[in-house]
Amino acid sequence: MDATPFTVIAEFATTPESHDKFLKICAYDAARSVTDEPGCHRFDALLPDGEPNTVILYEVYTDRAAFDTHLTTPHYKVFADGVAELGVEIVKVRMLTTQPA
């Protein structure tokens, strides 16, 4: 059976003081995820126009198991610790599967 592609869209609220530091943590996690995890196919940090303290992460994995593996990696721990240390608010996390054609 083929894997069902799994997408995560996570929205975060930063402050002017934490925004740039948070983006650096996101960039580190994204680079390591795409490079080190065969199941991570895309990981982008998106900045919505007109919302200077909002960051949206768009991640695509082979399947849910690949995302679950992502959550156990050292680079994810750096990300999670950074979210806590900076006081970044998790606004919403959506987990989506791709509808088969």
What pLDDT does residue 47 have?
A: 98
In contact, 7 and 58? CB cutoff 8 Å: yes
Of 93, 98, 99, nearest to 9 by C-alpha is 93
Q: Which residue reads 């925004």 in tokens?
A: 19
| The overall pTM is greater than 0.75 | yes
Which residue type does 36 have?
D
User: Strands across the sheet with 54-61, in order?
Assistant: 40-46, 54-61, 6-13, 89-97
Q: Is the pLDDT reported for residue 101 higher than 80?
A: no
Structure confidence at residue 1 (pLDDT): 41
Cα 71–30–25 angle (5° rounding)? 90
Give tens-digit pLDDT for 4-45.
899 999 999 999 999 999 999 999 999 999 999 999 999 999
- Label residue 97 left, alpha or beta by phi (over 0 means left) and psi (-120 to 50 means alpha): beta
Query: What's at 97, amino acid-wise?
Result: T
Structure confidence at residue 57 (pLDDT): 98
pLDDT tens-digit map of 34-87: 999 999 999 999 999 999 999 999 999 999 999 999 999 999 999 999 999 999
